Structure 1
Amino acid sequence: MALQGIDISNWQAGLDTAAVPSDFVIAKASEGVGFADPTMQGFLARAAAAGRLVGTYHYATGADPVMEADHYLAVAGDWISRAILVLDWESGSNKAWGDGGWVRRFVTRVHDRTGVWPLVYVQASAIGQIPGDVRAHCPLWIAQYASMQQTGYQDSPWNEGAYSCVMRQYSGTGRLSGWNGDLDLDKFYGDRDEWTRLAKGDNDMVTKQDIQQIAEAVVNIDLNGVKLRDRIIGIDTAANTTRTTTREIKTSVERNDKRVYRLLQSLKRFTGIPDDDTTSVPDLTQSWLDKRVYRITLLLKRLTGIPDDATDLPDTVTLSDTQLDLIADRVAEKLNAMKEQ
């Protein structure tokens, strides 16, 4: 099964992605190291709400590839793992055109940070610029037009099958109901599951949904008949704990040097590990405390780059401000919800 869709940018500002017929919508996110397309969020939000699959792309300008990749990911933000990621590799305004090494460094940076290999958009005549090792990981999105005549969606675009690709852009002068202007038309050679797989990538990176699961797992741990959430909010007075408020959590977020240390010390106390500076939190087996603490430990490792093996968690680790803020927000939400019950 194939899917039909469009790719757009600020040049189509005002287009209603829920009104124009499509299976998917790919919107420009960024260009170079400074430009962020102001229409991306609206385009994707409207499309996703209407049940469309979504994607984002970055237009390469040939600046430092790591910096361009970082800029792209900063702009893509919460759409990462929900939308497919794409490197738009064209000759216009691209001083690195012809340099396959630049492409390799960009896609590797994206994968290192997200676990997702981006697609690479390139014209049919320049497929050779994309190194073989990149093509082994990154599906190609090939642009080739039969003509510049206006057209609607095509089931069998001209020259289909002449090269291996996951998606084909076959017109830059497409016409669809709901928009009085030219559109890029694309055919994706896969189904919704394949699109979702490409968007999620390795599936091992921590997302907001993972953080929500961490928060839920933490507050629901049962220790000798007492829920950890009860200890946290002060219901279990025998535990001699203090009531945690949203303000206190937010304040702790601002103390980067102590936040994770305190979290690990709390895990020690609640799991019976000596509360000192010499005993590390072990790699817990899946049978201990059901699977919940094991999952928390595993996700903490992935957050901090520690191998998923028997390596112990250290007493102090470093998380990014974004990761810590998200964790604090989720835990605060859970605590507030419990207090209102």
Structure 2
Amino acid sequence: MKAVALAAVTALAACGGGPTRRVVTDISIGSGQSVQGSFTGGAVPLLGDTAPHVWTSGHPYNLPVHGVDVSRYQGDVNWHQARASGINFAFIKATEGGDHSDPAFRRYWAETRAAGIPRGAYHFYYFCRSGAEQAAWFMANVPRERGALPPVIDLEWNHQSRSCPFKPSAAEVRREVGIMMSMLHQYYGQRPIIYTTVDFYRDTGVRNVGAEFWLRSVADHPRGTYPGQQWSFWQYTGTGTAPGFRGNVDLNAFAGSRAQWNRWLATRSQR
């Protein structure tokens, strides 16, 4: 396991414009190896990483609003402790394909609400079911609830799938995803967010479906891995740590300031 130590000093600018701090870090990795780096904004000191990346093009801790995405593999979570440590939102796996639901979804859904953490549900897309079937399955399992975040469609190639080796064309992907998005939008009253990975984004042209994006980029800032693409959420590590979680957890950052986060919540939460 790698240890990370951060030391900070103040100075200048941040995400979204306006006067802010500059933080200079001394990142110690493993047995005494040290890397100097600087980034704007402020670190979230209680969040960590068991396999930290040395960011050279925009540090995720530039951004003040962080959250997690979870599934049953996280086990028991102390959500009150997570919230107190700086976890501002959670995306919870609800469904996959047309017949699988995550066994922890309903428990996490209730626990995050009790802890006062804004949360939304996500669906892992399966390429051997139609978009309409998958939308119907998601709607059967995820309640319409005032204050919930928009539904999320998780789009990534699943190269290890034993039950569905099918890899559809880019045009078919966009068509079926578009159908699912329309159905979820009509049912939940908010247009879904698309989560995706670099290779899926590149292969399918999913940028053209007119969605708000949550992007996975664990070795570079999204502006480097998804040039020109606007985004609202950035999944920056799969080996994160946070109080309330017993093991690793995916960590994510929102693209703006706290004021912008509050405006986003007011606009994009279900009514």
Deviations 1:224-262 (A, max 9, x none): xxxxxxxxxxxxxxxxxxxxxxxxxxxxxxxxxxxxxxx
2:85 matched to 1:19?
no
2: distance between equivalents of 1:130 and 1:121?
Answer: 14
2: distance between equivalents of 1:166 and 1:65?
Answer: 23
Deviations 1:252-284 (A, max 9, x none): xxxxxxxxxxxxxxxxxxxxxxxxxxxxxxxxx
Deviations 1:133-157 (A, max 9, x none): 522xx201100112xxxxxxxxxxx
1: distance between equivalents of 2:68 and 2:134?
Answer: 24
SS in 1 for 2:180: helix
SS in 2 for 1:83: coil
2:167 matched to 1:119?
no
Kindly report the root-mean-square deviation, in angstroms, between the aligned alpha carbons of the 2 structures.
Answer: 2.1
What does residue 142 of structure 2 align with?
76
Structure 2: runs of 5+ lacking an equivalent = 1-62
Select which of 254, 262, 271 maps to 1:188: 254
What does residue 219 of structure 1 align with?
none
2:120 matched to 1:45?
no
What does residue 245 of structure 2 align with?
179
What does residue 197 of structure 1 align with?
267
Contact 1:89 1:121 in 2 (8 A): yes
Contact 2:201 2:207 in 1 (8 A): no
Q: Which amino acid aligns with 2:185?
A: H
Contact 1:16 1:178 in 2 (8 A): yes
User: Offset of 1:199 from its aligned partner?
Assistant: 2.9
1: distance between equivalents of 2:146 and 2:133?
Answer: 17
Q: 1:61 to 1:30 in 2, by over 3 A?
A: same
Contact 2:132 2:176 in 1 (8 A): no
2: distance between equivalents of 1:4 and 1:132?
Answer: 24
Q: Which amino acid aligns with 1:127?
A: Y
Q: 1:132 to 1:171 in 2, by over 3 A?
A: closer
User: Offset of 1:96 from its aligned partner?
Assistant: 5.0
Contact 1:172 1:182 in 2 (8 A): yes
Q: Which amino acid aligns with 1:34?
A: D
Select which of 197, 203, 209 maps to 1:134: 209
Flag the structure with larger Rg.
Answer: 1
Greater per-residue strand proportion: 2
SS in 2 for 1:127: helix
Contact 1:96 1:102 in 2 (8 A): no
User: Offset of 1:113 from its aligned partner?
Assistant: 2.6
Please identify runs of 4+ aligned residues in structure 1 that moved more than 6 A.
none
Deviations 1:168-222 (A, max 9, x none): 101000011222311101011240330342232xx5xxxxxxxxxxxxxxxxxxx
Q: Which amino acid aligns with 1:30?
A: T
1: distance between equivalents of 2:134 and 2:177?
Answer: 11
Contact 1:85 1:199 in 2 (8 A): no
Pairwise mapping of residues 276-295 of structure 1 onto structure 2 (< 5 A)? none
What does residue 216 of structure 2 align with?
143
Select which of 217, 236, 239 maps to 1:170: 236
The TM-score, its normalising length taken from structure 1, stands at: 0.51
User: Offset of 1:132 from its aligned partner?
Assistant: 4.8
1: distance between equivalents of 2:266 and 2:110?
Answer: 16
> Looking at both structures, which has the greater relative contact order when contacts are Cα pairs under 8 Å and sequence separation is at least 6?
2
Fraction of identical pairs, as percent: 23
Moved more, 90-99 or 7-16: 90-99
2:95 matched to 1:30?
yes
2: distance between equivalents of 1:199 and 1:88?
Answer: 19
